[in-house]
Amino acid sequence: MKIRVLFHDVVVAETENPVRLEGNIYFPPEDVHAEYLRPSDHHATCWWKGETSYYHVSVGDKLDQNAAWYYPNPTPEAQHIKNYIAFERGL
């Protein structure tokens, strides 16, 4: 079964291989349409996964800031989600 993320009726991500973690769905990078992501300067830190980097999601003139995140250098315990991308709920 495919899981999709839609933003203003546009498929931003779609996968049959999600990783579910802490109530979030992480998408393999190859299953995300990178043309809809814009780098953000925002970062946060999770005590067990490490530093989070963010993307803005942009389709046409619609923008949702810091609506997607990933762990480029996760802790050893979170290596299985390295560079996988999660999206805020309700996107």
Strand partners, 82: 71
Mean pLDDT by 10 residues, the chain (91 residues): 95 98 97 98 97 98 98 98 94 75
Give me the pLDDT at residue 1, please: 85
Tokens of 12: 């931003």
Give me the pLDDT at residue 50, please: 98
Give me the pLDDT at residue 91, please: 75
In this structure, which topology does domain 3-87 adopt according to CATH? 2.170.150
Give me the pLDDT at residue 89, please: 86
Q: How far lies 47's CA from each of 12, 22, 34, 43, in Å?
A: 28, 13, 27, 13
Q: How far lies 46's CA from each of 28, 67, 68, 84, in Å?
A: 20, 17, 15, 15
Distance in angstroms (rounded) separating the CA atoms of residues 42 and 54:
6
